[in-house]
Structure 1
């Protein structure tokens, strides 16, 4: 794998290599390349804002952030973000990483699709979210130069139809456990696939609570 992309060194520690190997084993090229791009874009933003970042932890968070979409790490009752977060924490604990660091990675992954919160948290959490946002929906796209974007894409290509293929991967996961998408952006994948799907309503849930008033 390319060692330096757009000025960002890809972590090459034993843990980083084994994390990449595990994720490569289970994810499609589409998701793996996306995950590394998330790390690079996040790391570039971290440098731009002079943030003190543990590059290895950011890399593991980026690598594992979509692992909950694949069958080997899928559960029936948890959000896919939590499945990926659990896998990352288990991996890090298995490599002797103490809980404060493994928990930080867990939080970064669990919150990576949550709007309005990660950017106020620790850099590894904020930058995982920022990397996802720029690579998937283009938030922050213009903060990167065309040279930076081109170098990242050249090293880890998006493929010919990333947008639709990524939606398909997310939709496949969401359809397997629709109840986990309540209150999250993941519901949009189900709604686009099946507009007739009944969306749980927060107001109805409050009114139907067992309290008398």
Structure 2
């Protein structure tokens, strides 16, 4: 019998996103050092980029699933989360290009657009005690199946959405799973931000301003950790996630 990866959609189906003690210890061992080192590098601007990547280098697919995802996000989410979702894509996609990591832009973008939809008012109450990433992935799956979207891509997107709160993703996962987490982490705590050029950072932030994201996101996380007592959100908060958000290089 295979062991379910913590945070994967399969793991979510059996746990609703609740960590047991062994899983907390495993996550602690996997995320603490990479996360701390990542934040330190961001604060010290270590690994600053000489990259020439700019916004026009990032492909934005205009497919049915993307159009539907944009419409749903715009209907349900406040501007703060809408812009965060787009920045997550542009950070993750650029990191992928810099690292010469092959990825499917459509898969990464649709995962970015759906990854926090479980935090919106539409779903915060209805999801009950489930992790918001599980709710987000199920909302994506509902839309994807309605559009007869590719089953392999559905699985990848669901895992990417569910696992992005792990804090760190191992290299044995699909590129889109890794890049969604890295893009979200870049936007939330600044991890890998300074591997991207100043011009690129300015382009993304001008097009998708933060709109007091730090304060608003910390409020959403506080609500989530109260609603789901043994969630990864609560565990990461206990490890200092709100402080890391406050210390990120973006300001509000």
TM-score by length of 1: 0.80
Report whether the alignment pairs 1:53 with 2:103.
yes
Question: In the alignment, which residue of structure 1 is the partner of 2:206?
Answer: 154
Give the superposition deviation at 1:176: 2.8
Q: Find the aligned partners of 1:113 and 1:52 in 2 and give their Cα distance.
A: 22
Matches within 5 A, 1:20-39: 20-39=70-89
Report whether the alignment pairs 1:69 with 2:119.
yes
Q: 168, 181, 188: which one pairs with 1:116?
A: 168
Q: Find the aligned partners of 2:144 and 2:70 in 1 and give their Cα distance.
A: 13
The 3 A distance-change label for structure 1 pair 104 and 80 is same
Give the superposition deviation at 1:190: 11
CA contact (8 A) 2:115 2:161 kept: yes
Report whether the alignment pairs 1:166 with 2:217.
yes
The 3 A distance-change label for structure 1 pair 188 and 23 is farther
Q: Find the aligned partners of 1:60 and 1:43 in 2 and give their Cα distance.
A: 12
Measured against aligned partners, the alpha-carbon deviations of 1:118-167 in whole angstroms (never above 9, x if no partner) come to 554111100000101111001101101110100001111112x2211211
* Structure 1: segments with no counterpart, 5+ residues: 193-213
Q: Find the aligned partners of 2:241 and 2:201 in 1 and give their Cα distance.
A: 31
Question: In the alignment, which residue of structure 1 is the partner of 2:192?
Answer: 140
Q: State which structure, 1 or 2, has the greater radius of gyration over its C-alpha atoms.
A: 1
Q: 65, 70, 89: which one pairs with 1:15?
A: 65
CA contact (8 A) 2:87 2:187 kept: yes
Q: Find the aligned partners of 2:231 and 2:128 in 1 and give their Cα distance.
A: 9
Question: In the alignment, which residue of structure 2 is the partner of 1:208?
Answer: none
Report whether the alignment pairs 1:97 with 2:149.
yes
Question: In the alignment, which residue of structure 1 is the partner of 2:132?
Answer: 80
SS at match of 1:117: coil
Q: Find the aligned partners of 2:242 and 2:191 in 1 and give their Cα distance.
A: 22
Q: Find the aligned partners of 1:179 and 1:191 in 2 and give their Cα distance.
A: 17
Report whether the alignment pairs 1:178 with 2:226.
no
Q: Find the aligned partners of 1:182 and 1:173 in 2 and give their Cα distance.
A: 7
Q: Find the aligned partners of 1:140 and 1:165 in 2 and give their Cα distance.
A: 22
Greater shift after overlay, 165-174 or 136-145? 165-174
* Structure 2: segments with no counterpart, 5+ residues: 1-53, 244-252
Q: Find the aligned partners of 1:127 and 1:50 in 2 and give their Cα distance.
A: 12
Measured against aligned partners, the alpha-carbon deviations of 1:57-84 in whole angstroms (never above 9, x if no partner) come to 1101001110111232331121111111
Give the superposition deviation at 1:88: 1.2
Greater shift after overlay, 71-80 or 59-68? 71-80
Moved over 3 A (4+): 179-184, 186-192
Give the superposition deviation at 1:187: 5.2
